[in-house]
């Protein structure tokens, strides 16, 4: 009976280890991916990143599953130790069975620790990635505001130049007579200054 239980647990652990190694982080769809968009709308390929590009949800799920499996295995290992103490028979089969269980639990402990380290490093990367996106958004907003301010200044300058040119042109028109206006004939008739023959 104990051997069958050990074989069952070994098969379960082997299947868990194989699944944990075959699943690539970030490829398991935890939920439908939503696209990241700024309030102004999509920003192109940089703005269209998934909410979980590093597969943090999948790794957290793997860590939780492995912790649950390890806790069950530790319970079984404690029961095996208790049975071995009660029976006080130190046959080689039960001793080998206990050694196998201890080795499996130790190996899974190491794998769980590696998964936790991977999860911590990816969470740190995610925090840095979000900070970089926020910094890029802030820079883009500052550049847009500076561009709007420069455009408003150019528009105001153009308005000023346009009104200034129109005012100076109007002043020139009032002081200089237009060439199209007819000239007034003088009141004095022209005299002939040529010497008369008398």
pTM of the complete model: 0.46
Residue 143: pLDDT above 70? yes
pLDDT higher at 165 or 183: 165
Dihedral in degrees, nearest 10, Cα atoms 59, 62, 64, 67:
-130
Residue 185: pLDDT above 90? no
d(CA 51, CA 63): 20
- Sign for the CA dihedral angle at 14, 19, 24, 25 comes to negative
Contact indicator for 102, 77 with CB cutoff of 8 Å: yes
Segments making up each domain of the chain, as ranges? 2-24+53-138
d(CA 6, CA 74): 13
Question: Average pLDDT of 150-157?
Answer: 92
pLDDT higher at 4 or 108: 108
pLDDT band at 87 (very low <50, low <70, confident <90, very high): confident
pLDDT band at 139 (very low <50, low <70, confident <90, very high): very high
Question: Average pLDDT of 136-157?
Answer: 93
**pLDDT (0 to 100) of residue 47:** 44
- Tell me 46's DSSP state: T
d(CA 143, CA 47): 17
pLDDT band at 170 (very low <50, low <70, confident <90, very high): low
**pLDDT (0 to 100) of residue 133:** 92
- Sign for the CA dihedral angle at 99, 102, 106, 112 comes to positive
Most confident stretch, 13-17, 29-33, 119-123: 119-123
Residue 57: pLDDT above 80? yes
**pLDDT (0 to 100) of residue 10:** 77
- Sign for the CA dihedral angle at 79, 85, 87, 89 comes to positive
**pLDDT (0 to 100) of residue 56:** 81
pLDDT band at 83 (very low <50, low <70, confident <90, very high): confident
């Amino acid at each position: 009976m104990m051997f069958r239980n050990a074989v069952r647990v070994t098969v379960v652990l082997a299947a868990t280890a194989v699944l944990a190694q075959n699943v690539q982080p970030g490829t398991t769809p935890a939920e439908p991916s939503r696209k990241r968009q700024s309030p102004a709308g999509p920003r192109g390929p940089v703005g269209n990143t998934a909410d979980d590009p590093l597969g943090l949800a999948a790794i957290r799920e793997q860590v939780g599953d492995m912790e649950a499996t390890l806790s069950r295995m530790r319970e079984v290992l404690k029961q095996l130790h208790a049975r071995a103490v009660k029976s006080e028979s130190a046959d080689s089969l039960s001793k080998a069975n206990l050694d196998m269980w201890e080795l499996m639990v130790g190996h899974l402990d190491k794998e769980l620790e590696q998964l936790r380290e991977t999860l911590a490093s990816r969470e740190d990367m995610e925090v840095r990635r979000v900070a970089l996106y926020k910094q890029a958004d802030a820079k883009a907003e500052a550049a847009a505001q500076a561009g709007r301010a420069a455009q408003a200044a150019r528009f105001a300058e153009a308005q000023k130049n346009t009104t200034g040119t129109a005012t100076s042109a109007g002043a020139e028109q009032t002081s200089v007579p237009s060439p199209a206006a007819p000239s007034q004939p003088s009141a004095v008739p022209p005299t002939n200054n040529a010497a008369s023959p008398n």
